[in-house]
Amino acid sequence: MYNSIQDTLIIGKKVIYLPSCHSTNDIAAEIVHAGLFTEGTVVITDHQLSGRGQRGTNWVANPGENLTLSVVLTPTFLPIQDQFLISQTIALGIKAYLEKYISGVEIKWPNDILVNRKKICGILIENTIQGSKLNTSIVGIGLNINQIYLENDLATSLSGETGSELTLGDEFAALIRCLDAAYLQLRSGNRIAEIRSAYMNSLYGYAEEVKFSYKDRVYTGTVIRVNELGLLSVRLSNGDELTDLGIKEISWIRN
């Protein structure tokens, strides 16, 4: 069902398709642990039984309607303190893929992908480290493609946005090509500033006020910075600033 992609340089040349599995990130981790991979190997399933999300949540998607996959990367060229660049690069690759169909694509810090303010894709990146460098990075992607009924009102799918049903195999190939192109930019080493500024310019809340909760209070403000470590700074509507927040410190409120 999902073919390996031969016209990319790194990602998707080897594709492992499992009709069902517990979590593609876990399968990818097992493959890495066993040393049985080349960089860019993709694990993809039609039916993920225990998909994992950020902050210990579950990722649930209707079987056979969406893209549920993990990519194994070996970004050994990146110092540990630059690991957020992987998140930024992958988010931009997914955004580029979606923009072939639709506008209104934004990245919600740190790396959710929104279309018209609704979540269409979640990313779970799990890194291993060796010394002061990154060793492997498992990039898990859950992208809603043909699922029309989503439990969460603040979620959407590509077909929900475009009105047409898509062929998963074709969308897989198109997505992988965009991820490969984005990763090649990162690997080239001379496009880092470009990646960081494209990420900032794509951020939900960067150019306009949005709502979020912090320490049990609701605030309105704009994103002013995401630093190299991936920590977020916001300017509140009263002019105060909250700086260098981690993922567990704030929750966005979209309505």
State the residues that interact with ligand BTN by CB under 6 A. 23-25, 48, 51-54, 57, 59, 68-70, 112, 122-124, 140-142
Cβ distance to ligand BTN smaller for residue 224 or 252 = 252
User: Residue written as tokens 């992958």?
Assistant: 90
Instruction: Show Cβ contacts of residue 106 under 8 Å, excluding neighbours closer than 6 positions.
Output: 113, 114, 115, 117, 202, 203, 204
Q: What angle do CA 9, 198, 139 make, to 5 degrees?
A: 45
Q: Which is nearer to ligand BTN, 142 or 205 (CB)?
A: 142
For the bound state, the minimum distance from the C-beta of residue 27 to ligand BTN, rounded and expressed in Å, comes to 8
CB of 53 to ligand BTN, least distance (A): 3
Q: Which is nearer to ligand BTN, 13 or 119 (CB)?
A: 119
The least CB distance from residue 61 to ligand BTN, in Å, is 7
208 Ramachandran zone, left/alpha/beta (phi>0; psi -120 to 50):
beta
Which residue's beta carbon is nearest to the bound ligand BTN? 122
Closest distance to ligand BTN from the beta carbon of 47 (Å): 11
Judged by DSSP in three states, 246 sits in: coil
In degrees and rounded to multiples of 5, residue 160 shows phi and psi of -60, -35
Q: Toward ligand BTN, which CB reaches closer, 141 or 186?
A: 141
Question: 23 or 157, CB closer to ligand BTN?
Answer: 23
Which H or E run includes 212? strand 210-214
What is the distance between the alpha carbons of residues 101 and 156, in angstroms, rounded to a whole number? 14
CB 166 within 8 A of CB 158: yes
Output the smallest distance, CB 155 to ligand BTN, in A: 10
The least CB distance from residue 111 to ligand BTN, in Å, is 8
**How far is the C-alpha of 19 from the C-alpha of 10, rounded, in Å?**
24
Nearer to ligand BTN, 57 or 167 (CB): 57
Q: To which H or E segment does residue 179 belong? A: helix 168-188
